[in-house]
Structure 1
Amino acid sequence: MLSKEKINRINELSKRAKSTGLTKQEEKEQQTLRKEYLDTFRNSFKNQLHNVTVVDENGNDVTPDALKESKKNKNKHMH
């Protein structure tokens, strides 16, 4: 999870970019913070998906093969 301070800074830079513009240094900071935010979001989303099992109305596991494979690969890296 990204800290509240970093999220506030992202929002502050975004507002300033729309109103007065950013310096080169602030633009670089904004890009770095956005990348960190997206990386954190993607990792969190992947972790959520790895805890999902899809079951049809008959109780059969119909989890997509790509997700099953991703779960296997994750477990290999953890050991």
Structure 2
Amino acid sequence: MTESNEQDQLLKRINELAHKNKTVGLTTAEKAERKKLRDQYLANFREAFRSNIEMMRIYDKDGKEVTPEKVRQVQRKKGLRDD
């Protein structure tokens, strides 16, 4: 399952549980499932967001790279930069 598809499936089930919670309520097992799904969704989101930031290079209007040094260090550590 791809990351996007996994996120879509998690979000679909989270929304189903949210709807059920508003209409008839959730069982203890469903509340535990909702927490597990939310935690997994957030973990996946954070991982993808971190990866996007780590891959990013920022340039000013003159074309000079102004990527923050902290991001450059992470990129060097992961072998994404040669400088």
Structure 2 residue corresponding to 1:14, chosen from 9, 15, 18: 18
Which AA in structure 2 matches 1:53?
R
Query: Within 1, Cα distance between the matches of 2:67 and 2:7?
Result: 33
The answer as to 2:1 corresponding to 1:35 is: no
Deviation at residue 4 of structure 1 after TM alignment: 4.4
Give the TM-score of the pair, scaled to structure 1: 0.78
Structure 1: gaps spanning 5 or more residues: none
Give the TM-score of the pair, scaled to structure 2: 0.75
The total of aligned residue pairs comes to 75
Which of structure 1's runs of 4+ aligned residues deviate more than 4 A? none
Q: Percent identity?
A: 31
Q: What is aligned with 1:62? A: 66
Q: What is aligned with 2:48? A: 44
Query: Within 1, Cα distance between the matches of 2:76 and 2:28?
Result: 43
Deviation at residue 12 of structure 1 after TM alignment: 0.8
Structure 2: gaps spanning 5 or more residues: none
